[in-house]
Structure 1
Amino acid sequence: MPAAETLSVTPLSDTPFGCTVQLPSYANNDPANLNDSDFTALYESVHKHLVVVIPGQAELSPKSQYELTKRFDPSIPQPKESSGAGYGHGKEFRHEQSVLRKDGTTVKSQPQVQILGQGTFEANEPGNENGEFISLTHPSHTSFHHTPLTDAQIKHDHRTRFYRWHIDSALYDLSPPLVTTLLGIKVPPATQTQNIVYEDSDEKLELTQGATCFVSGAQAFRNLSEEDKAFALATTVEYAPHPYIVISPAGATSDGLTMVSEGKEIPFDKLPEWEASKVKKLPMVWTNPVTHEHHLQVHGCCLHKLHTTKDGHTTTLELEAARKKAHQLMRPAISPQNVLAHAWKQGDLVIFYNRGVWHSVTGEFKGVNNGKDERRLMHQCNIASGYDPKTEV
């Protein structure tokens, strides 16, 4: 299909939300080149459709991906750009105790962009921006869930799980990014399917190997009872300091929504240095600035407490009770009919509204399996915002 003169938006079919975008011809297949009018259309599409797919972007440079991502949020602080620290990589994510410590490496020429994937890549391989040998590990629930699937369930039943439903954010000191851009540079052919079996119901979701799953926070909020909507609107989520380190000894629930409470968390006095003023306390409900819809936005694995204020009085749910309440509110949203499971094609650039969706990795990869190349190489960019999300009631 020839490129149009203006940005073209087409809703995805047979999915709960999402759209594809065709770039105008003048952009030369680089979304960073969009004029102000077409970028405004893209900005609104991300907020309305929540997940936007721009195909054919395998050659997109890390510089263009960064510039495009940054353009969505003029509030992004400037001083930290050169170090790539604006999102919270480095000390927060690369700490040896963090559950995120194996999740990729940094593009040397553009440190705001992270390299994710599975398998080893030689220095001279196409797509390897760093020009040196890199080894990548696809996150697997087997190293994060309290009770993972058995080898037989994975190998013979072709099962997988939602690894961890989350919002991209350091959740300490830094504010959540507005958008995330995720680029599939090398993607195995979408010929193998895997299944998610819901262990608390008879539901089942079939998806392609390594699909990234999304759910709408707006739909999650709409589906709540009136009582739960009132609770969510009145509640602030307090996250743990250095939350990805705190939860590292614990195990996640089988649906990836939160953690199993067994008292295994690292005590706060055993953490790297932290300041109470930098602990994140965020609304449970965030307002979409374009649609003005309410989105239920909770990182269930990293929360520490829930504070609910009604008639001037605040009640607090401590860790175990807070996890149970968050799980009760979030669980209906991940039923199969609500999930957008993006089946990656090489060159897909996915832009998602990080303050309006939750997402999860799925899939089990081996790197090379019976002679089949299952390696995957991706670039991800998201940058901490200059302001916290708010709820407008």
Structure 2
Amino acid sequence: VLFKGLAPDGGLYLPESIPEFDIAFYRSEMTYCELASEMIQPFVSENLTSAELMKISEAAFNFNIPLVSLTADLQVLELFHGPTLAFKDFAARFMARCMEHLLAEEITILVATSGDTGSAVANSFFGLDGIRVAILYPAGRVSSIQEKQLTTYGGNVTALEVQGNFDDCQHMVKKAFSDESIIQRRPLSSANSINIARILPQSVYYAWAWKQINTDQPITFSVPSGNFGNLTGGILAEKMGLPVESFIAATNANDVFPKYLQSGVFKAKPSKQTISNAMDVGKPSNLDRIKKIYNSSINDIRENIVSWSFQDDETRNAIQYTKDKFNYLTDPHTAVGLLGLEKYRQENKEHHTGIVLATAHPGKFAEVIEPIVGEKIVVPLQLQKAMEKEKNSITIPAHYSYLKDFLIDT
């Protein structure tokens, strides 16, 4: 499953069964790596020993995961302290180390990115023997820093600049996985959230956040959502016994999921360009997983997940408000998460602690944030170094034939 990415019929893999841990497990004293190893082990026990999984976890999750209190019942879980300063580092680094440990033959990793996935995958897989990476990203629809982060590695990492949107990139990647003429030539895998190995490690930080709150009460999680892999990780954590009051799927103007919850009928749309670009998705892949987990019951989904969409002006106002009220700087995606929690509280007078998942360092979006707050943002050193490097990408039209030619010819 790790190396296949997609199922043979083009569908997404899900575990046949989900282990459940009791509340005593979540209360017990553990490091983050110990928690990750315990939660993931039941899914990988046939392939990795406990000791091997612990070693992989220690190599993958070697950075801080602070929980910042804005108020007594409003917390921000900062998931952006990895090497590329985005939450995608958790899953990408875990996948890379699993593949490196289990790799039996050369493989090509295909990735579609709307922003942060590409840089996290490039960083995690760069220089690994036997693994080649091709990253498809939409031209003009990622930030300048994101583009530099994913186009400046070289070596075994190639960036393909697609003249289309993220949905075009994702469609091309999925089509490659069903193309026998490609698969017979070279093994393919995905590091997108269509790969279940991207989802499993993302369930862990929900449990870690709950442990830091030190409460017996359920917690509301507000999740900035685009392709819905992050939310799917949270749902798996709840199914594993974590007390959750509700999930908030906070989206930008790409509102297909809120409309799905309203109508019960999913209709894909062309993605719209927003300042929270990593969530510019009009056909989220992981919706299929969410439906399956809830047995395709729209009522069960509605009982556990609420969702709203927010426009760019609202996002800008949230960035300014959070800076003024809490002296806390947030990136556009996290701002959407804060808006989601605020909306939830307006509609639910009784509520428990709310945690917003902060998905990216604000320095990655300095060009968006600086005009809003009226001050210069200190950009972390690793981003400064990336900006100094030369962009190296291959431009292709948004047609599968061009990706196929690339895969065959290189």
The verdict on a shared fold, with TM-score over 0.5 as the criterion, is no
- Normalised to the residue count of structure 1, the TM-score between the two structures is 0.28
Tell me: higher relative CO, structure 1 or 2? Use CA pairs within 8 A at least 6 residues apart. 1
Which structure has greater strand proportion?
1
Choose between structure 1 and 2: higher helix proportion. 2
